[in-house]
Amino acid sequence: MDTITQIVTIVAVVLGALTSYATNELMERSKRKAERRSRWDSSKLDAYADFIGRVRAAIHGAVLLYEVREEMRTVGRSERELAEDLTELGIAQSLAFERVMLLADHRVIEVAHTVQEATAAIGWQARGVVEDSLAEWRALHVTAFEAINRFHERARQDLGVNGDFDGQEHTERGLLLPEVRREGDRDAT
């Protein structure tokens, strides 16, 4: 073998080794990136689900308080106890919101702020801080559930979930709230 053939062989072996190393390094980097994304997506999904669960629990607590305060329902708890429960639910919701703030992109965060504002308005009326009619109470819930549906849409986009989600369709299905009172009823709308 002459010198040129040996040099070409050595260069080919070195190029092959470098190519193999570079390919393996890129594959490992891609694998680590995918694993990291999967961990973040899992954390985001948990945070988003926890937030919405806390929002719905707070709304449910507000409905109970409102209905007891307005004498629409009786339960085995006082108005004061229900107000304390609502305060605890609000704190848990706020903590879940902070977790969303840490993990979400700005579009999800903006909608989460809207959800927070809508549920706060429900809580204010449930506590009697704001006095409005039952029709206004129902309108607050429509606004809140529209915001929740927008949150679902943004969260699905952020997580890369395929498939359609039409929040308006879900909002139009109706709310599980008492019907608006008729004329002559207490505090008629």
Helix%, strand%, coil% for the chain, nearest 5? 75, 0, 25
SS (H, E, C) 109-155: HHHHHHHHHHHHHHHHHHHCCCCCCHHHHHHHHHHHHHHHHHHHHHH
What pLDDT score was predicted for residue 172? 53
Sequence-separated (6 or more) residues with CB below 8 Å from residue 182: 188
What pLDDT score was predicted for residue 89? 97
Residues 135-154 as b or e (16 or more Cβ within 10 Å = b): eebbebbebbbbbbbbbbbb
Query: Among residues 178, 109, 166, which one has the least CA distance to residue 141?
Result: 178
* Higher pLDDT, residue 48 or 169: 48
> Is the Cβ–Cβ distance between 147 and 51 less than 8 Å?
no
Residue 188 has pLDDT above 50, yes or no: no
Instruction: Tell me what percent of the residues of the chain surpass a pLDDT of 90.
Output: 54
Residue 186 has pLDDT above 80, yes or no: no
What pLDDT score was predicted for residue 176? 56
- pTM for the full model? 0.72
Q: Both tokens of residue 148? A: 């929740």
Instruction: Tell me what percent of the residues of the chain surpass a pLDDT of 70.
Output: 83
Q: What is the pLDDT of residues 115-169, one digit of tens each?
A: 999 999 999 999 999 888 888 999 999 999 999 999 999 999 999 888 776 655 5
What pLDDT score was predicted for residue 163? 75
State mean pLDDT over 96-115: 96
What pLDDT score was predicted for residue 183? 45
- Which domains, and CATH codes, for the chain? 42-171 (1.20.120)
Residue 20 has pLDDT above 90, yes or no: no
What pLDDT score was predicted for residue 18? 84
Q: By mean pLDDT, which of 44-58, 63-77, 158-172 is the weakest?
A: 158-172
pLDDT band at 187 (very low <50, low <70, confident <90, very high): very low
Residue 43 has pLDDT above 50, yes or no: yes
